[in-house]
Amino acid sequence: MKYNALIFDFDGTIVDTLTEAAEIYNVLAEDYGYKKVKIDEIPSMRHYNMKKLIKELGISKLRIPFLLAKGRRLLKKRIDQLSPIVDMVETMKELRKDAVNFGILTSNSTENVELFLDRYGIKDLFTFISSTSKLSGKSKHINSISRTFSIDKADMLYIGDEIRDVKASQKAGIAVAAVTWGFNSKDSLSLENPTYLIDTPKQLLEIAR
């Protein structure tokens, strides 16, 4: 394989969480007095980076860890309502045949990820699941994964759906495949110059091999 260490984001990349995330956010917005998100606003928000999104919603950066923790707990109750991205499960199974390291690095909780993977019988595909409580902490975790598993960064590929995934990968010095079916739009991802920009999971088979 061209990349024998594949690391996936979870929300928006493996699993379709866009609608659930918006609904959960609106519950929190109701409780804590933030601006709610309307369904017809989501397409335009897909062009925002995280900094602009937080500003648009009027959320203090200091409140982000608290809101993330609350959101994860609410999502846990909705795990059974989530579905994998079309063709993603089959693609990951095919990729796993040749990959040495196969992991997940997410801002979601490890517990939520494992519940979802167990439901679809794919937990055993992964050699590690790593979680970060910070929206901007993925580059440090990528570096840690490289050290922990003695992986050459030239062998690593991160697969994610957000601008911050691209930036974190670039900061850590590894290749990144930005997927267009998640939160951020294709145009906004393209502006960040990811190593790869893909529209379907099956394109990963061409990239990784």
Question: Domain coordinates of the chain in residue numbers?
Answer: 5-16+84-208, 18-80
- pLDDT, one tens digit per residue, over 21-60 is 999 999 999 999 999 999 899 999 999 998 899 998 989 8
Kind of pairing between the strands at 15-16 and 83-84:
antiparallel
Q: What is the DSSP letter of 199?
A: S
- pLDDT, one tens digit per residue, over 121-137 is 999 999 999 998 776 77
The answer to whether 159 touches 168, Cβ cutoff 8 Å, is no
- pLDDT, one tens digit per residue, over 50-96 is 889 999 898 988 888 899 999 999 999 999 999 999 999 999 999 99
Q: With bands split at pLDDT 50, 70 and 90, how would you rate the model's confidence at 209?
A: confident
CATH class entry, domain 5-16+84-208: alpha beta
Question: What is the SS3 assignment for 43?
Answer: helix
Closest of 2, 46, 66 to residue 163, by C-alpha: 46
**Amino acid, res. 170:** Q
